[in-house]
Structure 1
Amino acid sequence: MGLSALTPPTSKDAVHETLLEFHDNRLLIDLCGEFDRNLAQIEHKLDVQIVRRGNMLSVMGTGDGRGKASAVLQELYSKLEAGREIDAGEIDGMIRMGSKDPEGKTLGDQMEMFKRGDIEIKTRKKLVEPRTEAQKAYVANLFKNELAFGIGPAGTGKTYLAVAVGVNMLINGVVDKMILSRPAVEAGERLGFLPGTQDEKVDPYMQPLYDALNDFLPAKQVLKMREEKVIEIAPLAFMRGRTLSRAFVVLDEAQNATTMQMKMFLTRLGEGSRMVITGDRSQVDLPRGVQSGLRDAERILADVKQVSFNYFTSKDVVRHPLVAAIIEAYEADEAQ
């Protein structure tokens, strides 16, 4: 991959052209996306024009937009060279992170970190890379601490990354089993009595955890591990009375746990185990007047060593780009 500026910039507001050369046409096709949708996304977000010329991309725009678009294209291509896949969320995340992270690292510096494999999670089906600085710090704490909290809005990868780290530790023999749990609390609706067996009743509440697992392990392997109790998915109420040893334990939607439930769950931690608590304080579905156990845990455990708290914002959203805009709009309304 080569880079050359056809016209030297004279003003940051002047429109100039940067020419990027990519040596593998197959990867270039993936970089552009179906019907050039990836290029269109970058054009729209950064107010540039990108034209393909053989194995080259011409990026035209002002200095700031053109430079950022060129950096994003080069990093995306480097990921394709490393065998990674890219999607709209990946592109949007790179654009929103800007050309520098909070510590002053350029996109090129971040790519060097990625190539060294400093922060990556290997699972059976894919290699997972945290995209934002908050996610990188979160993943680092998941490996480092026995108890970690991930708190922030939907779509920031709290549960997804936690399950990925759990699968990594499971397949590498760091733990013997995974236990995934969440409170069986209805999100503002009353569904009444559900038919079926116990598993059939609670499965709808656990579906997000199944989705994450199936992203990292073959479906047959997930089924076998569940049959052998190597992987357990159960409501929070089922944790009472247990001691969870050599297990990677995730409590999802923890904002819907009461103070007593949270204390009960945290005290299940056994020898050789890791525990991750994830939640979104803006989506509490507990009855009016019932205090969220997540808020209490933040206050009570703030000064306890080997307990980490990682916080996410709308800038860390890695779902559809519109999700970040929706979260920001709600946050702005609540602030008024």
Structure 2
Amino acid sequence: MTTFTLEPQDNGRLQSLCGAFDEHLKLIEKEFNLNISRNNFTFTIKSNEENPKSHHEKLIQCAIKLIQDLYMETAPIKGKAKELELQNVHMALQERRMLSQVEPERAKSDVYSSVIKTKRGVIKPRGVNQVQYLHNILTHDISFGIGPAGTGKTFLAVAAAVEALERQEIRRVLLTRPAVEAGEKLGFLPGDLGQKIEPYLRPLYDALFEMLGFERVQKLMERNVIEIAPLAYMRGRTLNDSFIILDESQNTTVEQM
């Protein structure tokens, strides 16, 4: 039997963590085959087996880590605790199953505890590949992300840039992509090159609005703290203390790279 207490104590966050009629805790109980009871912010976890084996202690520690991580996700946004849904718990459990498939040494390392914290909430990578991708971004000067559309490449990169900006580790964020299209034609679109390419930069805008809010993004862009531009306009620039994200980089030329 193991007992632990959640900090900081916030009734709204506790309610969000446990769910209606403790449905979130019941789902965790079922996943780990454990019994979870609580008295306010103090939780007690024990095995359902009469003679628990050594690996049950590892399951208890995994359950504690999961509960603490979910509680962290309920961090208040604009003074109100973030609502956790049953889907969030399902996703967290699925992530744990995926991580259990990797080598134990890697699963225990800090590589798999990468979390992005923004003022709008906590962003966690989903699955082994996203975890490794985010870790590479945070620990290397240059990282490449390859994969089909919709797998979180741009979103996680923007999240890492926003966190670095919030921590004042960088002074500027530059988001760019080449003018050469990925299967689409730009010629028929009205306007100059910047106006032609702007619709294709929407994923970058969407990610920024999600993490910082529309008004803050507009203010930062007015001050050129955040800049979104075609790659053709980046030639010859000096960029110090900057986080640069090149989207659709497979369409760049050798000279541009």
TM-score normalised to structure 2 length: 0.64
Are 1:30 and 2:25 matched, yes or no? no
SS at match of 1:151: coil
Question: Residue in 2 aligned with 1:129?
Answer: 124
SS at match of 1:149: coil
Question: Residue in 1 aligned with 2:37?
Answer: none
Deviation of the 1:96 alpha carbon = 5.3
Deviation of the 1:185 alpha carbon = 4.9
The equivalences for 1:99-114 within 5 A come to 100-104=100-104
- Identity, % of aligned pairs? 40
Question: Residue in 2 aligned with 1:80?
Answer: 70
Higher relative contact order (CA 8 A, sep 6+): 1
- Aligned residues of 2:186 and 2:196 also touching (Cα < 8 A): no
Deviation of the 1:28 alpha carbon = 6.8
What is the CA deviation profile of residues 26-53 of structure 1, one whole-angstrom value per residue up to 9, with x for unaligned ones? 66753576899979999xxx8x9xxxxx
Q: Aligned pair count?
A: 235
The residue type paired with residue 95 of structure 1 is Q
What is the CA deviation profile of residues 87-119 of structure 1, one whole-angstrom value per residue up to 9, with x for unaligned ones? 536633632551724122799x68xx69xx963
Between 211-220 and 246-255, the greater mean CA deviation after superposition: 211-220
Identify the match of residue 245 of structure 1 among 235, 240, 244.
240
What is the CA deviation profile of residues 99-141 of structure 1, one whole-angstrom value per residue up to 9, with x for unaligned ones? 724122799x68xx69xx9633333333333343433333332
Question: Residue in 1 aligned with 2:226?
Answer: 231
Q: Where does the alignment leave 5 or more consecutive residues of structure 1 unmatched?
A: 4-21, 49-54, 61-66, 267-336
SS at match of 2:114: coil
CA distance in 1, matches of 2:195, 2:208: 18
CA distance in 1, matches of 2:116, 2:231: 27
SS at match of 1:178: strand
- Aligned residues of 1:184 and 1:205 also touching (Cα < 8 A): no
What is the CA deviation profile of residues 269-298 of structure 1, one whole-angstrom value per residue up to 9, with x for unaligned ones? xxxxxxxxxxxxxxxxxxxxxxxxxxxxxx
Question: CA RMSD of the aligned region, Å?
Answer: 4.7
SS at match of 1:232: strand
CA distance in 1, matches of 2:184, 2:122: 37
The equivalences for 1:181-200 within 5 A come to 181-186=176-181, 188-190=183-185, 193-195=188-190, 199-200=194-195
1:131–1:195 Cα change, 3 Å: same
